[in-house]
Amino acid sequence: MPLIIPVDSDFSIHNLPFGVFSLGEGEKRIGIAVGEHIFDLTHAVEKGWFSNISKETVQTGSLNALIGQGKEITGNIRKTIQSAVKNGTDLSAYLLLQSDVRMHLPVKVGDYTDFYSSEEHAKNVGKLYRDPENALMPNWKHLPVAYHGRSSSIIVSGTSVKRPSGQIKTTEMERPVFGPTRALDFELETGFIIGKNNSMGSPVSTSEASEYIFGMVLLNDWSARDIQKWEYVPLGPFLGKNFATSISPWVVTYEALQPFNVAGPIQQPKVLPYLEFEGDKNIDINLQVNINGTTVSRSNFKYMYWNMEQQVAHHTINGCPLRIGDLMGSGTISGKDENALGSLLEMTHGGKKHVELDDGSQRKFLEDGDEVVISGFCEKEGIRVGFGEVRGQII
């Protein structure tokens, strides 16, 4: 029986993202999203499909070993499944409904780096805490600013987030106090997964970077703004950030996203030679954020000032070794419009105003019980490639 994929599905035949799933508490398996179904790649390999892939590669409970086989192998998997679906091949022995499985983190993340690559977001935050005429720090347009996050607190979509506690000090306080954050926020981001190792001491150029980017996920880098504000000078985010980072379960391959490449913002002043690149490297990804069912933001990844290739090049220019499975966050994605902001910090001007939800309630920051859902997709000339969603509820 041929597989029918809904026309509005994020997981069209042009997409076929990779993920890790299980049936209840059973063993973790590698799958590929096809419409409302999952193609069980682990089962297929065990039954003799893809003779150049060992059973051990797809029985590890993560994508790392498979990604390590290289893009020729993973690309061939997608092409084979595309052909099977187009030809009406009976795949029923390898298909499960997505609604019947439990999704897991797709990769074992060794290291996590979060960039700060939206000019609009950086300016909005800079205006809140510094001279509005000098909202950007002097280095911002010369290099992709970033910080190292905590890989142990990366969680898959659907995992609840416990409200963190830490030191808080407002301008009215003489001394800091300890307690739960009063300014819990989301950050609308994407992330990309490193798919190839580089040797220590060997930088990766912008022209080589695409070989090191396996694919992308949606990302919510939860933030405790009051804890962060008190602690971040001089070394940057710490407890205000490292308590939870949520990612979507399906990794959309770099190749599936190439039809949606667009030009990014003009970079002035001119970047240093190692950050120069050729071609259109931004991606037209429509992004949306809902809080308890109310849409509070519609933004787009194409707005980013620094692209992924530049981020890889900068990350490695000092010889830093990247490893398969490493996660790189884009940084909060904001557009120029008020309805395209990527955080409550920006929407409420630092808590000075409210966001109204459809049920009539108001938010300056997130309350216990609130659920944040980020979704995203690309669409062009009848081709749709989506990410599904990343969701998390505050407890």
CATH number of residue 51's parent domain: 2.30.30.230
Q: Answer yes or no: is 383 within a domain.
A: yes
Q: Answer yes or no: is 1 within a domain.
A: no
Please indicate, yes or no, whether residues 64 and 142 belong to a single structural domain of this protein.
no
Please indicate, yes or no, whether residues 153 and 208 belong to a single structural domain of this protein.
yes
Q: What average pLDDT score do residues 82-94 get?
A: 95
Question: pLDDT tens digits, residue range 191-207?
Answer: 999 999 999 999 999 99
Confidence class for position 96, pLDDT limits 50, 70, 90: very high
Q: How far apart are CA 218 and CA 375, in angstroms?
A: 7
% the chain with pLDDT above 70: 100
Q: Is 121 considered catalytic here?
A: yes
pLDDT higher than threshold 90 for residue 2: no
Q: Which of 104, 123, 144 is the last residue of a domain?
A: 104
| pLDDT, position 4 | 87
Please indicate, yes or no, whether residues 290 and 235 belong to a single structural domain of this protein.
yes
Identify the CATH number of the domain in which residue 242 sits. Answer: 3.90.850.10
Q: Answer yes or no: is 55 within a domain.
A: yes
Amino acid in position 45 = V
Determine which one of 37, 121, 314, 315 is catalytic: 121
Q: Which of 35, 69, 104 is the last residue of a domain?
A: 104
Q: What average pLDDT score do residues 70-84 get?
A: 98
Please indicate, yes or no, whether residues 246 and 174 belong to a single structural domain of this protein.
yes
pLDDT higher than threshold 60 for residue 365: yes
pLDDT higher than threshold 80 for residue 1: no
Rounded to the nearest angstrom, the gap between the alpha carbon of residue 257 and the centroid of all alpha carbons in its chain is: 14
Q: What average pLDDT score do residues 178-189 get?
A: 98
pLDDT higher than threshold 60 for residue 92: yes
Q: What average pLDDT score do residues 249-265 get?
A: 98
Q: Of 74, 15, 14, nearest to 41 (Cα)?
A: 74
- Tell me: cis bond preceding 180? Omega within 30 of 0 counts: no
Confidence class for position 282, pLDDT limits 50, 70, 90: very high
Q: What average pLDDT score do residues 81-89 get?
A: 95
Q: Answer yes or no: is 258 within a domain.
A: yes
Please indicate, yes or no, whether residues 262 and 333 belong to a single structural domain of this protein.
yes
Please indicate, yes or no, whether residues 88 and 187 belong to a single structural domain of this protein.
no
| pLDDT, position 132 | 86
Q: What average pLDDT score do residues 210-237 get?
A: 97
| pLDDT, position 329 | 98
Question: pLDDT tens digits, residue range 111-162?
Answer: 999 999 999 999 999 999 888 889 999 999 999 999 999 999 999 999 999 9
**CB 240 within 8 Å of CB 200:** no
Q: Answer yes or no: is 236 within a domain.
A: yes
Q: How far apart are CA 386 and CA 102, in angstroms?
A: 19
Report residue 135: phi and psi, to 5°: -65, -35
**CB 354 within 8 Å of CB 374:** no
Q: How many domains does the chain have?
A: 2
pLDDT higher than threshold 70 for residue 321: yes
pLDDT higher than threshold 90 for residue 58: yes
Please indicate, yes or no, whether residues 79 and 117 belong to a single structural domain of this protein.
no
Please indicate, yes or no, whether residues 44 and 166 belong to a single structural domain of this protein.
no
Q: Answer yes or no: is 9 within a domain.
A: no
Q: What average pLDDT score do residues 314-336 get?
A: 98
**CB 77 within 8 Å of CB 50:** yes
Q: What is the pTM of this model?
A: 0.97
What mean pLDDT is reported for the chain? 97
Contacts of 165 (CB under 8 A, 6+ apart): 178, 179, 180, 181
Q: What average pLDDT score do residues 371-391 get?
A: 97
Please indicate, yes or no, whether residues 256 and 181 belong to a single structural domain of this protein.
yes
Domain limits for position 78: 18-104
Q: Answer yes or no: is 118 within a domain.
A: yes
Please indicate, yes or no, whether residues 168 and 237 belong to a single structural domain of this protein.
yes
Please indicate, yes or no, whether residues 128 and 86 belong to a single structural domain of this protein.
no
pLDDT higher than threshold 70 for residue 357: yes
| pLDDT, position 130 | 84
| pLDDT, position 129 | 85
Q: Which of 104, 136, 155 is the last residue of a domain?
A: 104
Please indicate, yes or no, whether residues 371 and 307 belong to a single structural domain of this protein.
yes
Q: Answer yes or no: is 197 within a domain.
A: yes
Please list the alpha-helical segments (H only) found in the chain.
41-46, 64-67, 71-86, 119-129, 225-231, 254-257, 308-316, 344-347
DSSP code, position 318: T
